[in-house]
Structure 1
């Protein structure tokens, strides 16, 4: 019987043999099922021809107990001893799973034989001689899944004495192909190449001049000093952060139909920049992104929710749609982790065992179980005590407390606006119930919390604490039940009330405590999640509510008012010290929300649900339950129970992933760095190290780099375990990186793509390099590191598309890294240069050549404006001696024009003006390609 997706089924029916055993349950003498007598004849007659020793359709064997426990391409066990409901074998023979009937309907196994199989499973599926056999974890002899072993750098023919290991490995293969390295690049080309590759910015004329002069005295010392200076620049972190954001598909919108903005998602981007600049070891970098909430780096978990997702409000209320959307969100997490860190297409095992790699469907769902507590959304990230935002937050909190003390001494209640919610403070009072009575015709509350002076963290209104909510039944509305007001869930599902037309009723809601409590402040909101998670949206929910009165119940059972929002507004509107103090308080709150720890779209955590293998990938067909674990072929099991807490799961997986002997983690990262420095990885499929990917061009070099990454043996200023800068420095200092990019006939004939690196492979620079270098040439670049993204888009309606409204004004003159990164949106200039839309993993960007690129780089408002500024700057600099044409070349190319170029350039400038000449130079290949 074939247990695979219907598209690959081959149904074969067999008649039972004449001597088939009688049903085991056909009388009292057969209470205990005997496998040899009762079960094996059924399996042999019905199953073995398709799932036996010689044929295994869908890679499923039913002629062994282990074969049943392992399952086939579906990846899930078809036998669960003692568990009839969990044994898929019984489902298919009973034809309970449409489309998966085994054998087909016309040849269904007789009911009496099915009864034998059912009883056999109930009794533990005893199979003589095989009870000690166990299913082993997946293994593979594929090169990428073998341990990394540091090879000795080669020596011999074609390898220069004293060659660094990188060059030695490359030179050996070059020699075998009858090739050798090219001559060193000219200093002007080398400084431009190193600057762009390591920082994403072309060098300034002054930097070129200084390097050329230093190279004339000592080329090696000058180049080492250049590389070290570039690695120390904050621009280095920005450059490599962009690379990381590409591969994890990070963006500031969710990419769904609504494509809404993810509020404060940029907090994660700044974490990545800071990590690269501060030399966070790569193993720590990974651990923080997977379990930063328990490592004092909560902002790092933005990595887990970097991919696209469909918001709950878009999914709706239908349960099957919600389950599917949840499965899709977890799949995005798994795709991110698999592609960026493990170089594996793990998502291919969502519906069946991976077709090429040793990743089973059970591995896939075990990995989703690791992240079962992760949900797309916002939270206030957990930060270490020395984090700058936390230190600043503590300073501002002291200001808030000081202002509150003054307001409390003034004797009157007050309110505070925290953007996502509001709070009200009043004099402490003892009561067993609190009531809010609203003015107006309608109101909605997604959550109402009540606190007392004894413990400012204990929500007395929580249903979990025994508090009971009730509301005016005369103002009730469908799907707005009062239980939602204190269920601990914020968002779109809220208590709602509406006054019927012509009625004098008022909406009110009451919270009753199990016993009398002392209370002094409230927290309330309409749609806290909407305000915390999105922005720049027309009709966005606000924290505003209709005016209301707060009452408490006294011992006599009477309601007494303690505060009214209308009266608070009136008092604060009078002016004087009270108004000034409240204004200062609100200013401190606003500063705290901007400068301190703040709700950011870096994921939120939920109680992990049980995880099951979904047959054919459908949440509506759950199979066996699985525990959180990593893919078996990549290392030992996490050995976690199925009910392990979420943070424990993620921290254990992070340790498993970042261990020194993991076969993929170091290999994938050093290959990615090689790709960024040379334009192509040693494994050109940078996000797929599996059997469907490419083999490494230099396997021993790849393993040497991986070993050096984990345990550095080459001395240097950054020679620490898992140091990215150490690896980048080694690659940048190699002869291969420093050689000329000019073509040679013998090289083109033997290796046209330069995969053997007989020359430095020329390549077009990325979109952001072009844009940022234009701003630098004009002198307009704002070099501020970090902070909110600059806006180029409109404020939109919920299901409208984003529109570009300003992509060239002064507010946009920062590095492109800090431009709002919206999915599925063309910025109308540099998207044409293959800037990713963040919908798919981009281990490497495509490089296209289209007419739109030239049109944008010649005629866009941004380029026209910046070319004018470059011309003005060239004219100003020319006052010191050089002519404006020479200065234009220096600002854009970093060099002076040749005699022939000067003649042509002066003609263009004389006829069309210097700005047109600058636009022409910006469109030259020299500006857009690495030398």
Structure 2
């Protein structure tokens, strides 16, 4: 019996809302989230008599047949099940021992667990995974074939698809370390920084506009994005990565780039409308910076503490405003930041420390006009104490940043490594990547998470080292094929007996179309671009969208201008991140709109026509069947089966017949094409329809 594993989830779901950390919401003066109300039966008001469930008021209340006595009350949606009641009884019988929440306990050094199937593990990750599989009588899946592995790795690490030549070279490479060599090459690619920058941009609520109804543009916002891509490509250690973004302006001998890094917290919304209360919206920005910092680095949801103590986690309102105080003294600044490739007048968004400190008070019920107790900058008591670099002045953002990445902090390294796992497996070891608190998911492999967190620190907070460790494991290399023996035992694949299969993000969907067709413009960094919008997208709005022309319109999707009040339609359809708030994990919908976008979006039509030109530009493709097979390779990364090739040939014949019967429609398709072509119009149109069909395959937008 373990409190954190077996009991805390029950109490958190059914009891803590009324009997938890929030003193203002606490009823009957009973607190069940800590052991203050348990112990020997020396006080008749004690809820728990250890070892004696039948003499414990807690057990009496949860089993009472009297509706006036029953807890939770009968009108509550969340009721205790019979198995949960039995667990609570057993817990009391065994002494009702409490444990601190697992995430607040510092990871301990771990030795690798012993496993029976010693030939399977490639590295330490596999020992932890295999141990759990063996405990459940399961075996891991076989390794995926090399064609699948290279496509998986390209999508995960670069966000684009490999060229057929790259696939051929990898599949022909018989060296035992061919996979590791591929991993190292991709980690060294400048496109790696773009791929993982997009993940961090979700967390940073990146936008190219101010938000609110005015939503004016921010012409220099991209300078922080450029810094981010470079920081990831150069593997800036995560502790330094943290310090520069939160407090780069406070470093001694700070560089322009370190000041640009503070643009992380310039990604808040800004209201410059006439008549708006400047102080109200300044406070909103500080609240956003406070909540975002806690979510991104600590994996804690602290927003409720703006108004009251946390109902579930040991976080108080006063502590919240202690964290708030670190950012309350920051102000926005646009710094001169001319650099190579930028005009002399170039600027960058940054934050700097005010010369005159603003007093911070608790906001009573979250009302910024109703000041309560004055507070100084401080952190949460449930975590190790902050150690300011100077005792004679108040701690500042630099002290906070160093506290976040101090090895004694039990959360930051766990949160970061859990997110890397999420980005590489589709879900984290803790599925709620934004919440490692008591309301979050339990880790499926707690020892693995702790071991990875410790290794992350031991290897100098290296992002690339952590990613390399994960993707070179046998666990990562498994096939994602569904197994019947797992459907009943582990339908959600929590034990990792196979890889996960999932639809890629909207940005990657678009980049896959462009890269497979050869249209992708691969320059790194620079201002945002505005690909054409669907007709009517901004009709009736005040926005202007001067559409970019090729090749800029074919740049990678992370460079698309992010208008906060109007997410680019294709990204919105594929569950793009809301740029107004920090997004730790995206949802993955599956709707008919996806198929409609992949048939009719302008980038699909452009990519389809470009793919046809690419097929007819290959001298070796002397027949339609060879072109069809090569098209399949370009789009989904593998050779078609005989049955698939026959189906594609039938599709082409059908489309060719339809185009001959409808020359006007065929001409419309051909008329959209800007390039001259020797291909007859009806044939060109038929090939475009085949290409559109390939782009519409589930396999095209799925990471196996």
- What TM-score, normalized by structure 1, do the two folds share? 0.59
Correspondent of 2:696 among 915, 923, 930: 923
1:693 maps to 440
Does the CA-based 8 Å contact 1:888-1:918 persist in structure 2? Answer: yes
Q: Distance in 2 between the 1:881 and 1:167 partners?
A: 47
How far did residue 837 of structure 1 move? 2.5
Q: Is the counterpart of residue 303 in structure 1 residue 264 in structure 2?
A: yes
Query: C-alpha distance in 1, partners of 2:646/2:688?
Result: 17
Return 5+ residue gaps in structure 1 as ranges: 1-9, 11-49, 60-138, 382-388, 394-589, 712-719
Q: In the alignment, what sits opposite 1:335?
A: 291
RMSD: 2.8
Give the 3-state SS of the residue equivalent to 2:349 in structure 1.
coil
Residues 640 and 618 of structure 1: is their aligned pair in 2 closer, same or farther, counting only changes over 3 Å? farther
Query: What does residue range 325-404 of structure 1 map to in structure 2 within 5 Å?
Result: 325-376=281-332, 378-380=334-336, 392=340
Whole-angstrom distance in 2 between the partners of 1:687 and 1:158:
35
Structure 2 residue 578 is the aligned partner of structure 1 residue 830: no
Specify which of 599, 607, 618 is matched with residue 866 of structure 1.
607
SS at match of 2:150: helix
Q: Which residue does 2:543 correspond to in 1?
A: 802
Kindly state the Cα deviation for residue 54 of structure 1 after the two structures are TM-superposed.
Answer: 11
The answer for the alignment partner of 2:363 in structure 1 is 614
Superposition deviation, residue 776 in structure 1: 1.3
- Quote the offset at 1:591 in angstroms: 3.1
Is residue 2:26 matched to residue 1:283? Answer: no
Which residue is equivalent to 1:274? Answer: 230
Q: How far off is 1:664 after superposition?
A: 0.6
Change (3 A) 1:163 1:223: closer
SS in 2 for 1:740: coil
Contact 2:290 2:324 (C-alpha < 8 Å) held by counterparts: yes
Given that 2:615 and 2:621 are in contact with CA atoms closer than 8 Å, whether structure 1 keeps it comes out as no
Equivalent in 491, 495, 501 of residue 756 of structure 1: 495
The 5 A counterparts of 1:375-524 are 375-376=331-332, 378-380=334-336, 392=340
Within-5 A mapping of 1:743-892: 743-792=482-531, 800-802=541-543, 804=545, 806=547, 809-879=550-620, 881=622, 883-892=626-635
Q: Name the counterpart of 1:232.
A: 188
Displacement, 1:314? 4.4
Give, in whole Å, the separation in 1 of the partners of 2:198 and 2:515: 18
Instruction: State the 1:644 CA deviation.
Output: 4.7
Write out aligned runs for 1:609-688 (5 A): 609-638=358-387, 644=393, 649-688=396-435
Aligned partner (choices 89, 111, 123) of residue 164 of structure 1: 123
Q: Secondary structure at the match of 2:298?
A: coil
**Can you list the C-alpha shifts for 1:535-568, whole angstroms capped at 9, x where unaligned?**
xxxxxxxxxxxxxxxxxxxxxxxxxxxxxxxxxx
* Residues 161 and 746 of structure 1, relative CA distance in 2, 3 Å threshold: closer
Q: Is the 8 A contact 1:315 1:325 kept in 2?
A: no
Query: How much has 1:910 moved relative to structure 2?
Result: 3.0
SS in 1 for 2:177: helix
- What is the alpha-carbon distance in structure 2 between the residues aligned to residue 921 and residue 152 of structure 1? 48
Segment of structure 1 superposing worse, 626-635 or 604-613: 604-613
Indicate if the aligned counterparts of 1:825 and 1:837 stay in contact, CA closer than 8 A.
no
Distance 2:388 2:235 in 1: 32
Change (3 A) 1:241 1:345: same
Q: Counterpart in 1 of 2:9?
A: none
Deviations 1:283-316 (A, max 9, x none): 00000001111332000011112233433x4453
Q: Does structure 1 conserve the Cα–Cα contact (< 8 Å) formed by 2:531 and 2:553?
A: yes
Do the aligned partners of residues 889 and 54 (structure 1) sit closer, same or farther apart at CA in structure 2, a change above 3 Å counting?
Answer: closer
> In 2, Cα distance between the equivalents of 1:224 and 1:832?
36
Higher Rg: 1
**For residue 724 of structure 1, what is the aligned residue in structure 2?**
463
Q: For 1:116-135, what aligned pairs fall within 5 Å after superposition? A: none
Q: How does 1:133-282 map to 2 (within 5 A)?
A: 141-160=100-119, 163-214=122-173, 217-218=174-175, 220-282=176-238
User: What are the Cα deviations for residues 751-776 of structure 1, in whole angstroms up to 9, with x where unaligned?
Assistant: 11111111101011111111112111
Residues 200 and 239, structure 1, Cα contact 8 Å, conserved in 2: yes
Task: Find the counterpart in structure 2 of residue 900 from structure 1.
Answer: 643
Contact residue 112 and residue 127 of structure 2 kept, 8 A: yes
Cα distance change on mapping 1:839 and 1:159 into 2, 3 Å: farther
For residue 73 of structure 1, what is the aligned residue in structure 2? Answer: none
Alpha-carbon separation, structure 2, partners of 1:698 and 1:146: 16
CA distance in 2, matches of 1:154, 1:663: 22
Check conservation: 1:731, 1:737, Cα contact below 8 A.
yes
Q: CA deviation at 1:375?
A: 3.1
**More helix, by proportion:** 2
Q: Distance in 1 between matches of 2:211 and 2:413?
A: 31
1:160·1:168 contact (CA, 8 Å) conserved in 2? Answer: no
- Higher strand fraction: Structure 1 or Structure 2? 1
CA distance in 1, matches of 2:546, 2:320: 43
CA displacement at 1:825 relative to structure 2: 1.1
What are the residue-to-residue correspondences of 1:32-71 with 2, within 5 Å?
56=29
In 2, Cα distance between equivalents of 1:643 and 1:847: 50
- Report SS of the residue matched to 2:374: strand
- Aligned mates of 2:607, 2:352 — CA distance in 1: 42
Structure 1 residues 773 and 808, CA gap change in structure 2 (3 angstroms): farther
Q: Flag the 1:267–1:681 CA change in 2: closer, same or farther, 3 A.
A: same
Q: Tell me which residue corresponds to 1:506.
A: none
